Amino acid sequence: MDFELSSEQTLLKDSVDRFVKDNYELAARRALVASDLGFSKDNWDLFAEMGWLGLPFSEESGGYGGSNVDVSILMESFGEGLVVEPYMATVLLGGRLVEMAGTADQKETILAAVIEGKMQLAFGYSEPQSRFDLFDVTTTATASGDGYVLNGHKGLVYHAGSADKIIVTARSPGGQRDKAGISLFIVDANTKGLSLKSYRTLDGQRASEVILDGVEVGRDAMLGAEGQAFPIVEKVTDLAIGAASAEAVGAMRRVNQMTIEYVKTRQQFGSPIGSNQVIKHRLADMLIEEEQSKAMSDMAAMRADMAKETRSDDQVQTASATKARIGEAAKFVGEQGIQLHGGIGMTDEYAIGHYYKRLQTIDKLFGNVDYHLRRFSDAR
Amino acid sequence: MDLSFSEEDLAFQQEVRSFLTENLPADIKDRSDRGLHITREHMILWQKKLAAKGWIAPNWPQEHGGPGWSLSKKFIYNSEYALSGAPGVSPFGVSMVGPVIYTFGSDEQKAKYLPDILNTDALWCQGYSEPGSGSDLASLKTRAVRDGDDYVINGQKIWTSWAHLADMMFCLVRTNTEVKNQEGISFVLIPMDSPGITVRPIIGIDLEHSLNEVFFDDVRVPIANRVGEEDKGWTYAKFLLGNERNLVARVARSKYQLTRLIEIAGKEIAYGGCLLDDPDFKRKIAKLEIDLMALEYSELRYLSQDMAGRKLTAEPSMLKIKGAEIAQTLKGLLVEALGIYGTPYETDVETAARNDGPIGPDHAHGNQADNLYQRAATIYGGSNEVQRNIVAKMMLGL
């Protein structure tokens, strides 16, 4: 048992930190967010070159066999820079689903292309009525000839607009909220009957409402066994919660750094505002929240590494405890970051608000504080 | 980064579990379960068992009698200790003065005091606060003046926990009035039976006697009883505070109390069902449990950092702030769980003297006393406000 980084992990952290420093000045990020694509293709190519797109996949799958701790290191640094490339959607959601549930053929065609940076994926798991319940699925898959017909509405599908393939959950048998009966389908972006209503999210990312209207897919579009996708979806999203939590830790760290710097320079009543005890104590609490979050994020990654591919007894408790704790911390740190910056913190021009917005979207990703407090206690 | 345990670790876990189960007396466990203060006899009995096993001081270096455990073993030991329901080891000797003596003391002091601390042959108390020196501890006035081979000590300490049971006191005294407050303090070890010492009880809001005033009237203490250099006592005092990080986070104790809270909430009837099924109460427990988990892994993370040789600064202060807040929330919930039976209040002695059975459910007894006592957790050892000052200064440069 230890919390120290290995020398390889230190190298990984240094290279991601360097990428963020070189490419994610606020102005550069602002330009990416305003661009048609919403992120940088050049950055994506660089991710492929650095091996980050294959980081979590096993060597048998053509990846680099990285651990969940490795993924957390990368995501924490991404969080510091508010990186907008679709790493979560393509690698940590789509890619992992394919690796865990896919046939040899699916892995070979899709994962290889993902790792090379030639294919992007999106994952539609929410619906307008599902709120945060992954098993609440009304999208239907009806057997037809040699394949299936999909009908339904997937909400807030991150980066669906730029994805080559969209993976969706759909129900063949069973009721709306049954855990059994859910299947995964891989749908090509240009399939007939698939339409997207795309938009920008609060934190400058891209997402879509995805409408499936009589979408015909072949039998080979199914990912994993029919009707048995839920445990895989839960596993992949619980792992992604760990990664999102690491990202939040990185974002909180930057908020705290910026705020400390600001209160040391901003003068009022003839002295830096940071000389007031009320400000010192607020910042001490912000640091404590960041530190408690870092410990949870590290713990989640290490426990996930111990459990590897299987669903361990504490998977749900670990993910939900981490998400709930970090959601509370992020709310406090983000809000107080703006508060201590005063008027300038309210401007779009200044960085702090952008961090606040990213932290808010992370809270809503895969379930907010309330949702996970509830999931945590129901799992007891 | 790695959380896994080796085969050896798992065998160790079994060993700890069986030892604690087989050796913890039921009456000691029962008092501890209820949050009642341990008696002097129980403390000595229990701590001697741990000492005989070599487990009394997990964080001491091996050369001074510590077990030399890895991080995983410390984690396992603390977790198992918590689960066993055993009362915490008295902090004043093992966690506080012991490390100061083995780090800064003379060879004679090490030989004289460390074995007694490990074996609980001497109970210690802490002479820090004074009537005019609480959070501003460095302003303390208790004066030690040299006279031959002795210091002659005059002054007063206050809020001295368990002074009435102690054999020894580690005490901060002023040896120099000509310099800055922090630079004129010395750290001395005082036998409590020295002529001129008077201990007066202070009855707490829990109606119990744990606090005292201690008066010094021309008390002679050999200069040889000073730890380290004269006027450098403030450094040792700060070291002491930083070194008791295991104590300040109180993770193990809170984990045990949490299982007790869940047990009690499962027995309490509420809203036509049991309290544990009430979504509001359940949610409060979940939040507490998660906060405690974050605290536990923070502590492990800092311990790992320390063992890797990267020096800690105000991390223990962060643990103290969260640890005390969590402990207080927990005690608050233990009382809240009792409904109307959080209101009757008798001291332990009064309850013991009854022959008509407990008031309210049996599990109610002791919870409110513990809740009242725990209000001190955010005050002693440097109040949470002082800890935030330390964090701001040392970690944020404010």
* pLDDT tens track for A254-284: 999 999 999 999 999 999 999 999 999 999 9
For residue range B302-349, what is the model confidence (pLDDT) as tens digits? 988 988 888 889 999 999 999 999 999 999 999 999 999 999 999 888
CA distance to B156, B198, B226, B332, per residue, from B175 (Å): 15, 21, 11, 43
Nearest to A2 among B1, B322, B385 (CB): B1
For residue range B36-58, what is the model confidence (pLDDT) as tens digits? 889 999 999 999 999 999 999 99
Cβ pair B322:A292 closer than 8 A: yes
CATH code of the region B7-89? 1.10.540.10
For residue range A90-128, what is the model confidence (pLDDT) as tens digits? 999 999 999 999 999 999 999 999 999 999 999 999 999
Q: Given CB atoms, is A263 within the 8 Å cutoff of chain B?
A: yes
Whole-angstrom Cα distance, residue B371 to residue B365?
Answer: 12
Q: Please, which residues bridge with residue A140 across strands?
A: A151, A171
Instruction: Label residue B44 exposed, middle or buried (CB < 10 Å: 0-12, 13-18, 19+).
Output: middle
- Please choose, from the candidates A356, A368, A266, A277, the residue with its C-alpha nearest in 3D space to the C-alpha of residue A324: A368
**Rounded mean pLDDT of chain A?**
96
CATH 2.40.110.10 fits B123-233, yes or no: yes
Confidence of residue A129 (pLDDT cuts 50, 70, 90): very high
Residues with Cβ within 8 Å of B272's Cβ and at least 6 positions away in sequence, in order, are none
pTM of the predicted model as reported, rounded to 2 decimal places:
0.94
Q: Enter the tokens of residue A252.
A: 């909180």
- B388: closest CA of chain A, how far (Å): 6
Whole-angstrom Cα distance, residue A130 to residue A109?
Answer: 31
Residue B250, pLDDT above cutoff 90:
no
Domain boundary assignment for chain B: 7-89, 123-233, 244-396
> Quick one: average pLDDT of B370-376?
94
Domain boundary assignment for chain A: 7-88+96-119, 122-223, 230-378
**B12, B274, B290: which to substitute to probe chain A, counting the most A Cβ within 10 Å?**
B290
Look-up of token digits 């998400």: A323
Angle between helix B315-336 and B233-243 (nearest 10): 50
Predicted ipTM of the assembly: 0.95
Query: What one-letter code names the amino acid at A93?
Result: L
Residue that wins the pLDDT comparison between B241 and A346: A346
Whole-angstrom Cα distance, residue A69 to residue A243?
Answer: 9
For residue range A200-255, what is the model confidence (pLDDT) as tens digits? 999 999 999 999 999 999 999 999 999 999 999 999 999 999 999 999 999 999 99
Whole-angstrom Cα distance, residue B171 to residue B190?
Answer: 7
Residue B247, pLDDT above cutoff 60:
no
Cβ pair B294:A377 closer than 8 A: no
Nearest to A302 among B2, B289, B305 (CB): B2
For residue range B147-170, what is the model confidence (pLDDT) as tens digits? 999 999 999 999 999 999 999 999
Whole-angstrom Cα distance, residue B262 to residue B3?
Answer: 27
Give the model's pLDDT for residue A164. 98
Spell out the alpha helix ranges (H) of A273-345. 277-307, 315-341
Whole-angstrom Cα distance, residue B313 to residue A290?
Answer: 16
Name the maximum alpha-carbon separation found in chain A: 79
Query: What one-letter code names the amino acid at A348?
Result: D
Give the model's pLDDT for residue B249. 83
Q: Given CB atoms, is A260 within the 8 Å cutoff of chain B?
A: yes
Q: Please, which residues bridge with residue A218 across strands?
A: A147
Cβ pair A3:B301 closer than 8 A: yes
Q: Given CB atoms, is B293 within the 8 Å cutoff of chain A?
A: yes
Architecture of domain A122-223 in this structure: Beta Barrel (2.40)
Confidence of residue B351 (pLDDT cuts 50, 70, 90): confident
Q: Please, which residues bridge with residue B270 across strands?
A: B273
CB pairs under 8 A between A and B: 129
For residue range A180-198, what is the model confidence (pLDDT) as tens digits? 999 999 999 999 999 999 9
Residues of A in contact with B289 (CB under 8 A): 321, 376
Whole-angstrom Cα distance, residue B267 to residue B286?
Answer: 18
- Our separate counts of H helices and E strands in chain B read 15, 10
Look-up of token digits 């070979």: A108
Q: State how beta strands B150-158 and B143-147 pair.
A: antiparallel
- Among residues B244, B268, B296, B315, which one is catalytic? B244
Spell out the alpha helix ranges (H) of chain B. 7-23, 26-33, 40-53, 71-84, 91, 98-104, 107-118, 233-243, 245-249, 251-267, 279-307, 315-336, 348-353, 367-374, 384-396
- A154: closest CA of chain B, how far (Å): 30
Q: Given CB atoms, is A304 within the 8 Å cutoff of chain B?
A: no
Task: Report how far Cα B326 is from the mean position of its chain's Cα atoms.
Answer: 15
> Quick one: average pLDDT of A18-28?
97
Cβ pair A291:B389 closer than 8 A: no
**Rounded mean pLDDT of chain B?**
94
Q: State how beta strands B197-203 and B209-222 pair.
A: antiparallel
> Quick one: average pLDDT of A50-61?
96
Angle between helix B71-84 and B7-23 (nearest 10): 30
Give the model's pLDDT for residue B82. 86
Confidence of residue A311 (pLDDT cuts 50, 70, 90): low
Give the model's pLDDT for residue A380. 80
CATH 1.10.10.10 fits B244-396, yes or no: no
Cβ pair A376:B295 closer than 8 A: no
- A296: closest CA of chain B, how far (Å): 6
Q: Given CB atoms, is A280 within the 8 Å cutoff of chain B?
A: yes
Nearest to B294 among A3, A277, A295 (CB): A295
Residue A309, pLDDT above cutoff 70:
no
Whole-angstrom Cα distance, residue B42 to residue B36?
Answer: 12
At A19 the three-state DSSP class reads helix
Give the model's pLDDT for residue B245. 53
Residue B299 falls in the annotated catalytic set:
no
Architecture of domain A230-378 in this structure: Up-down Bundle (1.20)
Instruction: Label residue B42 exposed, middle or buried (CB < 10 Å: 0-12, 13-18, 19+).
Output: middle
For residue range B63-91, what is the model confidence (pLDDT) as tens digits? 999 999 988 898 899 889 988 999 989 99
Q: Please, which residues bridge with residue B188 across strands?
A: B171, B226
DSSP secondary structure, B19-55, as one string: HHHHHS-HHHHHHHHTTPPPPHHHHHHHHHHHHHHT-
> Quick one: average pLDDT of A156-163?
98
Residues of A in contact with B287 (CB under 8 A): 324, 373
Q: Given CB atoms, is A305 within the 8 Å cutoff of chain B?
A: yes
Residues of A in contact with B75 (CB under 8 A): 1
For residue range B122-138, what is the model confidence (pLDDT) as tens digits? 999 999 999 999 999 99
Residue B69, phi then psi, degrees to nearest 5: -80, 155
Residue B246, pLDDT above cutoff 60:
no
**Chain A, nearest residue to B318 by Cα:** A288
Give the model's pLDDT for residue A249. 98
Give the model's pLDDT for residue B355. 85
Nearest to A280 among B4, B71, B388 (CB): B388
R_g of chain B computed on alpha carbons: 22
Q: Given CB atoms, is A307 within the 8 Å cutoff of chain B?
A: no
- Our separate counts of H helices and E strands in chain A read 13, 10
Residue A49, pLDDT above cutoff 90:
yes
Whole-angstrom Cα distance, residue B98 to residue B325?
Answer: 27
CA distance to A376, B134, B262, per residue, from B283 (Å): 9, 37, 12
Q: State how beta strands B185-191 and B168-174 pair.
A: antiparallel
Name the maximum alpha-carbon separation found in chain B: 75
CB B90 within 8 A of CB B106: no
Cβ pair A292:B385 closer than 8 A: no
Residues of B in contact with A307 (CB under 8 A): none
Q: State how beta strands A147-158 and A140-144 pair.
A: antiparallel
Pick the CATH number of A7-88+96-119 from 3.40.50.300, 1.10.540.10, 3.30.70.2190, 1.10.10.10: 1.10.540.10
CB B366 within 8 A of CB A228: no
For residue range B181-225, what is the model confidence (pLDDT) as tens digits? 999 999 999 999 999 999 999 999 999 999 999 999 999 999 999
